[in-house]
Each structure stands twice: as C-alpha cells, then as structure tokens.
Structure 1
Amino acid sequence: MKNFTKILWVFLLITGNIFGQQEKGITGTDNWLHNWTEFKPNTVDYGEPTQILAGNITKDTKLSKRNIYLLSGNVFVTDSTTLTIEPGTVIIGDYESKASLTISKGSKIIAEGLETDPIIFTSNRSVKRAGDWGGIIILGDAPTTKFGSGSVASFYGKLNATIFENSNYGGENLASNSGVLKYVRIEYAGKRIKNAGYFNGLLLASVGNETILENIMVSHCAGNSFEILGGEVYLNKVVSYKANSNDFKFNYGTQSSLSNSLAIRSPYVSSRNGARCLQINSYDNKDEVDFTKKGTLVVAKNITLITDSDNLKSDIQQGLVKEAVYVGHNASLEMIKSVISGFNPAVLFEDKIRVNQENLEKIKFTDMYFNNCNGNIFVENNMNNEDLENWYGNSAFFNVYSKSNNSETFIDLKNQRKPDYRLRINKIIASNEVDPDLKRLDD
C-alpha cells in the first residue's frame, strides 16, 4: 500500500508538471495558426487589382471578395462611416503612393475574415519588402494620457497636417467601438515617410474595449507590427512575424491585455537601434502627459516570444540579439504563463526604475518559462541583477529556467507551411533554479 501511494504521488507530480508546462506560452488543443496564417507571403500570388480605393470614404461601403483592391495614397474612412470587408478579400497597398488606410474617430471597420478565408492586406511590388506601403490606423475616442486629444500627424512628426486632418483621437469613452478585425493578415507594411519615421502595421490609438481584435498576423513590417496608444485594447491570438522594429509597443496610458499571442524575431532584420518583442512605456515626452491619469498597464498572458536563430550564441556576440521585453518608467506589466526563448537578456527595465518593492510590485512575472536567454532580468546600464534574480527567482512566482535550443523547446517551428510554436513538453527539463550558465556575455 505504501509503495502504491508513493507511485501515485510520483504520477500526480509528473502529470501536474506536464500540464503546468503546457499552460505556458501559446495554448490550444489544436494549433490555431493553421489555415489563416502565412509565413512565406512573398511566394503567394494574390493576382492583379481590379478596383481602386482612393481619397475619403464618406458613406457606408462594402468590399467584396470577387474584387482585388488597390489601396492608393492615404485613404480615410470618415463621417461615422462603416467600411465592411468580406472574408477572403485582398487589398493591395500601392508602393509609389505610400498607401495607408485610416479609420477615423467615430467610424468603423468590419473586417471579419474566416479561418479558411482570411482578409489580406499586402504589397503590390513583385519583390515584396518590409515597408512597401503604410499600414492600417484605427482611431477611437477612449482615454489617453496625452494632454488634449492626440493626432496621428503630431504622433509621427512633420506629417502633412492638411492631408491628415481626419487623424485626431482620444476622448472619455472606454467602450469606444471601432469595429472588428478578425482573421486578418497585414504584410510588408511600415512605409518610411521623410522626416516622419516609419508607419506601423497596425496602429491603435484610443481604441476602446468594444473593438474586437483577434487572429491578426502582421508580417515583415518595417515599423512596429502593433502599436497601441491609450485606450483599452484586448488583443487575442495575434502574431508578429519578423518585424524590423518592435512587435508590440504600448504607450500613453493604455490599459491593454495581450493573450495567447506570438512574436518571432529574426536577428537579421531588426533595426539598427534594436527592437523588442514587448515595449511598455507610459510616455515618450513626459511634458505632454497628464500624470493624474493612469499610467500604461499591460497584462500579457500565454505569450510566446522567440528569436529565430540557428546560431544564437554567435548572433548575440555580434550584437544582433537584444532583450525581449523592455519596461519603461511609470509603466506596469503583469506577465503570466508566458515563454521567452533566446534573448539577450530576457527583460530590461529602464534605468529610471528604482529596484524597490513598490516598483517591483508593478512589474510582475509569474509562472514564466525563461529559456536559453543570455541573462534574465536586468536594469538598463547595470550589470548587477542580483536583487532582481532573488526577487523573481523566488519559488512563490513559479518561474522556470531552462537551456534548450528552439527545436527541442517547440513542437515544429521549422515547418514552413504549418509551424507549431506550442511547447514540446516531453523534451523540456525544467527547474525553478536559475541556470548558472545563463549569464550575459558582457558580465
């Protein structure tokens, strides 16, 4: 009987550990990336445009799957108008005219694709590259910490304010509804504008919590794949693939959640300044922010962040791999049951953040899986992270540290047609102790 009891306890312990590991990172009984995503979009022929979208859309409009649309110049949906896009519709951004699509405050986009028939936004160049066209901008009237209301023209800097007169955002409506983006792919966006920087794949400014944002893939973006300014945004099952800049950037008091989502970085396409999977800020310029309002808060649950590298150590030595997560001053992050694999280090705090209990209680890492990172959690410009390791390494946080290559860690990330980035449970040897070999090379 005693032997049976021991065997039962061992079985329960092993089973509990396996299911505990399965809960980390992106989850699902089936691989939810199947059918609607595309990891080699440059090989896909979307056909030639049959219709042109240009100027302002001022009355309710529906785009149908039977047409292929050329997005020409800066297209605005204005005057409380709704733009509806059928599943399977292809919209091609024009390279020469620096095409972009803006859903102005009070208007809506209903782009509800299907798993087997996603909506595609892509480039019209024969050889597609990051930054071929602008991207999608959605503006709402939810709160932002910026004084007054913001505008895309002022955000990007030196944009033509006359052209972007319909680009204001911000208000007091947390339940602002800008529509639906579901089963949507955005490819090769992030056009660079002279004196204005890069557009983003999807910019969400003061978007409210009634807006549905699910199953969105942004690939090969020259700017940030997803940028969120203010508002209350819920992102679920979204993918950023090989962005030049940040995968997810949150700023200006947004109260956001990011769940069951994926970011894959390449050491060879990041911008010179480096880029992160998650960048959490409360401001760029503190003089333009109302500090009586809530600072940025992001809850990230079941997120998988990966560096796609065949020789991680060499890429780190060459300075091609940076931190996965960056947390700025006065911002809060709660990261739960997530995977960070192959970064240098896993997390970096802005050097303005003092390491004390008050600040650390605003930046939480719980039930995490840190794998093959060149150091775990540091403060910017400070190589001594003993206090942080002691805090987050406490068994109460249930964080796990490991050192396995990606092919051993994830189910099938080399499958170009149907990659699977869920954890490969049976090959992971995990420990609650920090791996002594995982130290930053610049220590």
Structure 2
Amino acid sequence: MKTSTKIVLLLFATLVMTSPLLGQQEKGIVGIDNWLNNWTQFKPHQEYYGEPTQILTGSITEDTKLHKRYTYLLLGNVFVANKATLTIEPGTVIIGDSKTNGSLTVARGAKIIADGLETDPIIFTSGKSVKRAGDWGGIMILGDAPTNKFGNGSVAAFYKQLDPANYSHTNYGGDNAESDSGVFRYVRIEYAGKRTKAAGYFNGLLLAGVGNKTKLSNIMVSFAAGDAFKVLGGAMEIDRAVSYKCNGNDFKFNYGAQCELTNSLAVRSPYISSSEGSRCVQVISYEEPGEVDLSKKGTSLTASNLTLLNDSEDLKNDISMGLVKAGVYVGHFATLDMEKTVISGFNPAVIFDSKVQINQENLENIKFSEMYFNNCNGNIFVENNSNNDDLENWYGNSAFFNLYSKSPNAETFIDIDNPRRPDFRLKINKIIATNNDPDLIDD
C-alpha cells in the first residue's frame, strides 16, 4: 500500500473516532447526551405526588431510612442531629408543610444520604393543589468547614418557634475543610423558600460550612422564592446543578466559600424575579464588612461550562421596564475564575461591585475566558459606572478567546421550548460569533 494511501486512511480513521468529540459544543452545559433527560421536571405544577402517609417532625437522632413506598410530610423544623444519618431511597417523595414552614436541616456532624437515580429521583415539593414559590421552607445542610466569619455562623433566625434544645443544631462552620455531610444526588426541590419575619426567605438548598467530601450533583431547584442554591463558607464541588425560574439568586456564594461549579444551568424569568436584583451567579465575601475577618480567605469560585439564560419573550422591552438585571455579580474581596460559559440575554452580562477597583491585581482575580456573551445589553461593568472601556479592552483581548454574538434563543440552543425534554446545549455550527462586541440591543 502506498504511503499516501496509508496517511489518508489513518486520517479518516482518526476523524471517525473523534467525530463524537468534535460534535460537542464546548461552551455552556455539555454532554454527548442531554443529561437533563429523565430526572428533571420543568413543569412541576402538573405533577401529583399523592397525599402524605408518614410524618417527619422534631429531631432525628438515630440512623433513619425513608422508603419510596411512603410519601412523607415535613412538619415544622426537622433536624438530623447527634451524628445520625438520614438515608432516603431513590424515588421517595417528601412534601413540605406550608403552615409550619416545613424544613429539613442536617446539623453539623450528621449526614444525609439522598442518592437518587436518573430514572428515579428524590423529590422535595409542595403539597398544595395550586403550587407557588415559597409554599414551604427548604433544605439546609450544615457542616464544620471554614468560613471567613468571626466565630461560627448560625441559621437560627429562619426557624419558626425554635425549641431552645435545637439551637446548637443551627450552627455551622469550623476548621475541617474535608468534612463529609453525605450525598445529595439526583434530587429535585420544588416551590421552596417560605418567607420568615426574622431572616427573609428560606432557600431551596442552603449549604453552610459544607466540606469537600460531600457529594453534590444532579440537583434541580425550581420555583424557589428565595435563592435556589446558597453557599455560606465551606469547600465543595457542585456538578450538574439546575436552577429554574427562581425568584432569588440562582447560585449565591458568600462568607469565604471555596467552591467549584461545573456543567450547570440557570434559567431566569424576568417576570418572577426578585425586585432586589437577583443574579444567576453572585460571588461575594460578606453582607456587611464588620461581620467577617478579612485576614481569612475571601470567597473564591471556579466556574466552568455554565449556561446562564434569561428567558425573555421581548428582551428589549423587558430591559426598558427594568425587569432584567446582570447575569453575574462579583463583590469586593471575592475571586471568580469563569470559563467556557454562556451568558445570554442580560443587562449587562456581568457587574462588579462599586468597591472593586480596576487594577492589575483585581483583574487577575476576576477571570473570564473562552466565554460566549450572547444578546446582552453590554458585557462587563463596574456598578454605577457606565464607562467600561478598560474592562472591554482587557476582557476583549484575543488571548481570552471570548466571543460576542446576538442570536435568538431558537438559533442558539438546541431545543429550549420542548415542554417535556428541553435541551439547553448550544447548537453545533449554528453560532455566528466574533471577538468584537456587537451592538447587542437594537435601537
């Protein structure tokens, strides 16, 4: 066989073997198959899970298992405490009681093993016939990993009529970054976020001081009245998380959290978002500077392959009405390294806190590379400053491989309007993008 023929055949074989890889869009959520299939539910109001047959209340202080054959009611503040482990079978349904702000808290030292299956996820949901955001409390997992707060943190203010015996179960934080709070995988949390007088809204999933041996993946929070995923301190990896049309922030990181977020999706609706300015991703190191020790590590997030989408029917009008905010917010003393992420349909894509000075050190601590900015009204700005020339020059440098485009959702994503199995991956070879920032909102 001639050498040239061998080379042609070798190249053809290589192309055949690598074609599945070439067919993958590397930006935004990725996967050879649509990993949202089977376990997610984008229309949970159409689901009926039956009436509760068992009640969960008070404190769980011994190893306990919840079974799929029962439907459980979270009545009041339920704690997993005293180093107990709560195990939940795949397919189990747990309903949060509305009148008592039903909630589940895994205290420091305790564990939860909620290890669902792709075809049989674990479901926490509302029991109302007409379901709304904030129907019940939410889920809190508390660990003893570090925070940057002075002393330990506490979530006691969330609880209604808290028994004094349970106050110690509401604390979080410590010095064990490798602590293990269990497994939370293939889980859906629907209609959580009940409002409280003392602490505002519950969150779908609150992770406070959670250590990096905790396994967190394939978690969907939908229609939460508070934040979908709220992380306070700790050190953890979160993979394949979904926040769908929540009122609060989709992913909020605070109090010195050291986290990695990968291959995850946030879909916002301008018509149900909080008037306070909710973001898809918020990375801050404190609420008030006096509550943290600035000699400790500030919040640091490494984020890759996220799809952050604002689902507006008329983006230009929604922006003019003040319904659309920035997709990403970066606070003072916080670090963000974001890559291969799609930010589509925001006003603008990214906002820095006004305290963030634009200098070499801060720009090296806030990185955006191989990004895809689509249909945003501006890209990266400092809060209350309309002049972003320095930021555009920096992040627009070709060395970062950031792309800018203006494409309708139908032409950008594979099939986001599919009512049963939406696909939020980017279309292959359908994106017209440049390294220059186009005029993203028509006059």
Same fold, TM-score > 0.5, yes or no = yes
Return the offset for 1:160.
Answer: 4.7
Q: Which amino acid aligns with 1:111?
A: A
The answer to whether the Cα contact below 8 Å between 1:140 and 1:205 also exists between their aligned partners in 2 is: yes
- CA displacement at 1:19 relative to structure 2: 4.7
Distance 1:19 1:386 in 2: 35
Q: CA deviation at 1:394?
A: 0.1
Structure 1 residues 221 and 164 mapped into 2: Cα distance closer, same or farther (>3 Å)?
Answer: farther
Letter in 2 for 1:120: I
For the residues of structure 2 that align with 1:366 and 1:24, how far apart are their CA atoms?
A: 11
The number of residue pairs the alignment matches comes to 428
* CA deviations over 1:119-150 (Å, ceiling 9, x no partner): 00001111000000110000000001111111
Q: 1:263 is matched with which residue?
A: 266
Asked if residue 60 in structure 1 is aligned to residue 36 in structure 2, the reply is no
Name the SS of the counterpart of 1:427 in structure 2. coil
Quote the offset at 1:425 in angstroms.
2.0
Residue in 2 that maps onto 1:277: 280
Give the gaps of 5 or more residues in structure 1.
2-7
Which one-letter code corresponds to 1:315 in the other structure?
Answer: D
CA distance in 2 between partners of 1:174 and 1:106 (Å):
13
> Could you say which residue in structure 2 is the equivalent of 1:438?
440
Write the distance in 2 (CA, Å) between the matches of 1:19 and 1:405. 24
Residue of structure 2 in register with 1:5 after alignment: none
Q: Match of 1:371?
A: 374
Question: Is contact 1:152-1:164 (8 Å) kept?
Answer: no
CA distance in 2: counterparts of 1:153 and 1:298, whole angstroms? 26
1:410 aligns with 2:399: no
Q: Does residue 201 in structure 1 map to residue 204 in structure 2?
A: yes
Aligned residue number for residue 190 of structure 2: 187
Q: Contact 1:153–1:161 at 8 Å: present in 2 too?
A: no
Q: Give the superposed CA RMSD.
A: 2.1
In the TM superposition, 1:105-124 aligns within 5 A as 105-124=108-127
Determine which of 379, 404, 423 is the counterpart of 1:420: 423
Q: Is 1:78 the equivalent of 2:81?
A: yes
Question: For each residue in 1:369-398, what CA deviation from the matched residue of structure 2 results, as whole angstroms up to 9, or x when unmatched?
Answer: 000000000000000000000000000000
Query: Superposed, which structure 2 residues align to 1:299-338 within 5 Å?
Result: 299-338=302-341
Determine which of 112, 122, 132 is the counterpart of 2:135. 132
Aligned to 1:48: 51
Q: 2:294 aligns with which of 287, 291, 296?
A: 291
Q: What secondary structure does 1:358 align onto?
A: helix
Name the SS of the counterpart of 1:407 in structure 2: helix
The CA deviation string for residues 220-254 of structure 1, in whole angstroms up to 9 with x for no partner, is 00000000001101100000000101000000001
Deviation at 1:440, TM superposition (A): 10
1:165: how far off? 3.6
Superposed counterparts of 1:189-268, under 5 Å: 189-268=192-271
Match of 1:353 among 356, 362, 365: 356
Cα 1:378/1:439, change in 2 over 3 Å? farther
Contact kept? 1:158, 1:196, Cα under 8 Å: no
Residues 344 and 440, structure 1, Cα contact 8 Å, conserved in 2: no
TM-score (norm 2): 0.93
Instruction: In structure 2, give the amino acid aligned to 1:357.
Output: Q
- Aligned partner of 1:364: which letter? K
Q: Structure 1's 332 and 219: CA in aligned 2 closer, same or farther, altered over 3 A? A: same
- Report SS of the residue matched to 1:235: strand
TM-score by length of 1: 0.93
Q: CA deviation at 1:21?
A: 7.8
Separation (CA, whole Å) in 2 of partners of 1:440 and 1:277: 24
Mark the CA change 1:157 to 1:288 in structure 2 (over 3 Å): closer, same or farther. Answer: farther
Closer/same/farther in 2, CA of residues 157 and 67 from structure 1, 3 Å limit = closer
Following TM superposition, the consecutive aligned residue runs of length 4 or more in structure 1 with deviations greater than 6 angstroms are: none
Provide, for residues 55-91 of structure 1, a one-character-per-residue CA deviation record: whole Å limited to 9, x for no partner: 0001000000000001100000000000000000000
Residue 109 of structure 1 aligns to which amino acid in structure 2?
I
Distance between the aligned counterparts of 2:225 and 2:163, measured in 1?
Answer: 23
How far apart are the structure 1 equivalents of 2:214 and 2:361? 33
C-alpha spacing 1:349/1:21, structure 2 compared with 1 (3 Å): farther
- 1:147 is matched with which residue? 150
Structure 1 position 161, deviation (Å): 7.6
Matched-pair contact (CA < 8 Å) for 1:159–1:196: no
Deviation at 1:194, TM superposition (A): 1.6
Residue 204 of structure 1 aligns to a residue in which SS? strand
Deviation at 1:157, TM superposition (A): 9.7
The one-letter code sitting in structure 2 at the alignment partner of 1:309 is: S
Q: Determine the C-alpha separation between the residues in 1 that align with 2:248 and 2:240.
A: 20
For the 8 Å contact 1:374–1:440, the answer to whether it is kept is: no
- CA distance in 1: counterparts of 2:318 and 2:99, whole angstroms: 35
